[in-house]
Amino acid sequence: MNKLSKELINEITKIRRQLHKIAEVSYKEYETTSYIQQILKKWELPFQNFKNLETGGFCEVGQGSCLLFRCDIDALPIKENPDHKIISKNDDTMHACGHDFHMALGLGLLRYFQNYQESLKGKLRVIFQPAEEAAPGGAEYVIKENIFQDALHILGVHVDNQHPTGKVILSKKTASASSTSIKINLKGPGGHTSRPDETVDLIHVCGEYITQLKSHLTNSIDPRETLVVAFGKIAGGDTHNAIPQNILLRGTLRTHKNQVEKKARKIISSFSSNFENLYGIKIDLAFPTSCPATINDPSLVEKFIEYMQKNQENSNLIFLEMPSMGADDFAVYLEKIPGLYLRLGGNGKGEPHTGAFRVSEDLIEPALNYLTGFIQYYFEQM
């Protein structure tokens, strides 16, 4: 384990606070990007903009074989609890998922290895990725950049305010679920509510569609697999006495295995075709966006476990028994390059994606200790 200077920890802590104050939503992270540029310029490290995005960019330190580290930079359209000590200056925008910490850690890695380049037996490239919270996410654009050809692996982290500070939460395989958006338009002839027998009662039929679809999926997928379909939006109709001609459903499909996601899509498509024939309606089905499951590379999992064991840190390693049902577009990179996704205990309060979310700044020192140490170990074992 590395002994980090108090000066470095204090500097990164101040950076984290400033990043929290200037929170910006997906694809609009202009001030955030500018601030990162200023910090790197002060450190005399080169920041390079993306070609396919207006915000974000990357920076690297060292030479030789390349390891990537992804940190997301966007915030959420959420109003922060005004009682927080450090609060966003932008109304209704908040780092309610810890991306301010992710950026601070990425900058901390660059600063550390800039000062101790002799300890880095390779090249670390830190990606400051916009729009992780969006769909489609920023990873789908970053993946088109010319920054992956020389890279061997990629690392990603996420703060976890439900676990104690200093703990590392690791999944040996799937770390988080896939998330596929579903858009369904049910179309019927419409009519007067006094004569539903002469038309198609589309709202009733929509209820049948939701109920039967879920039941059909349950009976068509191996019950040992994890599958969640939930709808977050339903819209249709303009008045109380007219049966609508159109109802819109929006929802998500989530799984822990990408092959299960593909099978579920086919089942939904087949079911919708049969359902429209049965009820005499038209169904337009689409899957506008899809983020795969985040699946860790087994060799990197074993390497991280070895690193923790060699440093007598076994007690600080928690194995995730059940993957998260949340999604992270870090998974997009994993379809191109093998990688490792870790969760970092932050001993905080409040639920993620709420104004009450908080993470302890005390996580910065142990997190940077683990990350700098593991990156050194990674290159030494090559």
Bridging pattern class, strands 174-176 and 191-192 = unpaired
Q: Same domain for 280 and 298?
A: no
What would the mean pLDDT of 234-262 be, rounded to a whole number? 97
CA distance 184 to 286: 6
- Residue 2 binned pLDDT confidence (cut-offs 50, 70, 90): confident
| Average pLDDT of the chain, as a whole number | 97
CA distance 104 to 8: 11
Q: Same domain for 250 and 318?
A: no
Q: Same domain for 216 and 267?
A: yes
Q: Same domain for 198 and 98?
A: no
Kindly state whether residue 356 falls inside one of the protein's structural domains. Answer: yes
Q: What is the pLDDT of residue 358?
A: 97
Q: Same domain for 48 and 165?
A: yes
Q: Same domain for 35 and 45?
A: yes
Number of domains in the chain: 2
Domain boundary, last residue among 290, 309, 334: 290
Domain boundary, last residue among 270, 290, 310: 290
> Using an 8 Å Cβ cutoff, are 294 and 341 in contact?
yes
Kindly state whether residue 135 falls inside one of the protein's structural domains. Answer: yes
Q: Same domain for 88 and 157?
A: yes
Q: Which domain holds residue 212?
A: 179-290
Residue 148 in tokens: 């992956």
Q: Same domain for 56 and 74?
A: yes
Give the global pTM: 0.94
- Residue 3 binned pLDDT confidence (cut-offs 50, 70, 90): confident
DSSP character string of 109-157: HHHHHHHTGGG-SSEEEEEEE--TTSSS-THHHHTTSS-STTEEEEEEE
Q: Same domain for 263 and 313?
A: no
**For residue range 173-231, what is the model confidence (pLDDT) as tens digits?**
999 999 999 999 999 999 999 999 999 999 999 999 999 999 999 999 999 999 999 99
Domain boundary, last residue among 247, 262, 290: 290
CA distance 153 to 68: 6
Kindly state whether residue 1 falls inside one of the protein's structural domains. Answer: no
Q: Same domain for 94 and 42?
A: yes
Q: Same domain for 124 and 189?
A: no
Q: Is the pLDDT of residue 61 over 90?
A: yes
What would the mean pLDDT of 375-380 be, rounded to a whole number? 97
The amino acid that residue 176 corresponds to is S
Q: Please report, for the domain that includes residue 369, its CATH number.
A: 3.40.630.10
Kindly state whether residue 100 falls inside one of the protein's structural domains. Answer: yes
Q: Please report, for the domain that includes residue 285, its CATH number.
A: 3.30.70.360
How many Cα atoms within 13 Å fall on the side-chain side of residue 134?
A: 19
Q: Same domain for 183 and 252?
A: yes
**For residue range 265-321, what is the model confidence (pLDDT) as tens digits?**
999 999 999 999 999 999 999 999 999 999 999 999 999 999 999 999 999 999 998
Kindly state whether residue 158 falls inside one of the protein's structural domains. Answer: yes
CA distance 26 to 261: 26
